[in-house]
Structure 1
Amino acid sequence: MRISLFSGGTVWGLPVFFLGIILFATPSFSQSLPYRTLLSTLYDRDFPVVKSDQVTDISEYQILDAREKEEFEVSHLPKALWIGYDTFSLKNIAGLDKNQPVLVYCTVGARSQDIGKKLQKAGFTKVFNLYGGIIQWANEGRSLEAAGKPTQKVHTYTRTWGIWLTRGEKVY
């Protein structure tokens, strides 16, 4: 699934030039207004999200990475299980407990929400989408790993999505 922000030189109905002004004039908070606005257009209001600052003990969740293998190998949340998006299969998560909390994430939360809905239909009772995805997680300075070692690298899916990463090393 490819998501494009740009259509006819505008983003959210604004000329790209004005988006640049908004992006660079916005004070450096944990999450910019334009990023929050973008996320609000991607998420279904009735699908539960968890913000990274609400995850006080990551071990309470079964963590699923809904990005592609190449993205996962660059970095992922600690203890995350790669499940993919295009290649997702319920067979690959047969060993998970359907009654324990599941935290699904991707780059910004669109793909993970889709996978989360599939998990709900399959009988998982406590499924949550990580608000803002791995980008928000990294922007808040939360730990990432690759091959069992800490890393600052984040695969941002595309250069366009990479504009939202303010902390860490962008990989495309």
Structure 2
Amino acid sequence: MSLKHAALTCFSLMALSACGQADPGKAGATSPTYARLLQTLYRNTVPTVQPAALAQELSRPAGPLLLDVRAPAEFKVSHLQGARFVNFDSLAQEKFVGVDRKRPVVVYCSVGYRSERLGERLKSLGFQNVRNLYGGLFEWVNQGYPVYNSQGRTQNVHPYSVLWSPWLKNGRKVYE
């Protein structure tokens, strides 16, 4: 699925939501409409990890390597603490030299579509334990987990585009 097709799918699901067809979901839980969107976007080629499970893993001394595969402006606004930036636009050229192929890796983007592509790339390069953050940064923030920028913890989140912004329920939407 292309990003354009993904955007059309998103628009269709937002239209359903606007018509009263969607349940906003419970606090800390993925909304049913967002879950349907993710189901249409994901190829299920990379296992997912729920935000709560990742938060637990990150509280341990030897947590997974976090790879954020968004645009530079998105990463600058906010990201998971300790995440390494990987530019989606140059993903095909990235070789990940010096990264242990046995180390657990969690990839993420805004909703999980671009990060699933990164996960596929990592698996093709011999990485053995790669997971995609379910629902991406949006779901992480929607469930109340923190994000950071160069100054520290922040409420700011880049919503990728106006079309995707309705899926971000928490945080302060910042387009930079």
In structure 2, relative to structure 1, the CA distance for the partners of 1:101 and 1:27 (3 Å cut) is closer
TM-score (norm: length of structure 2): 0.85
Distance change >3 Å, CA 107–CA 129, structure 1 → 2: same
Contact 2:76/2:150 (<8 A) preserved:
yes
Query: 1:107 Cα deviation (Å)?
Result: 0.4
After superposition, the Cα gap between the structure-2 partners of 1:21 and 1:57, relative to the gap in structure 1 and judged at 3 Å, is same
- What corresponds to 2:41 in structure 1? 42
Kindly state the Cα deviation for residue 94 of structure 1 after the two structures are TM-superposed.
1.2
- SS at 1:11 equivalent: helix
Contact kept in structure 1, 2:25 and 2:32, CA below 8 Å: no
Is structure 2 residue 89 aligned with structure 1 residue 82? Answer: no
Which structure 2 residues correspond to residues 66-145 of structure 1 after superposition, within 5 A? 66-88=69-91, 89-91=93-95, 93-145=96-148
Cα-Cα RMSD:
2.1
Q: Deviations over 1:83-105 (max 9, x none)?
A: 110022324x2121110100000
Name the structure 1 match of 2:18. Answer: 20
Q: Supply the distance in 1 between the matched residues of 2:136 and 2:127 (Cα, whole angstroms).
A: 20
Q: Which runs of 5+ in 2 are unaligned?
A: none
| Structure 2 counterpart SS, 1:163 | helix
Deviation at 1:54, TM superposition (A): 0.9
Q: State the 1:115 CA deviation.
A: 0.9
In structure 2, the residue matched to 1:5 is 7
Change (3 A) 1:145 1:72: same
- Cα deviation code 1:105-153 (max 9, x no counterpart): 0000000000110100000000111100000000111111000500011
Deviation at 1:26, TM superposition (A): 3.1
What's the TM-score once normalised by structure 1's chain length?
0.87
Q: Distance in 1 between matches of 2:65 and 2:122?
A: 12
Residue correspondence of structure 1 range 136-155 to structure 2 within 5 A: 136-155=139-158
Q: List gaps (5 residues or longer) in structure 1.
A: none
Are 1:62 and 2:65 an aligned pair? Answer: yes
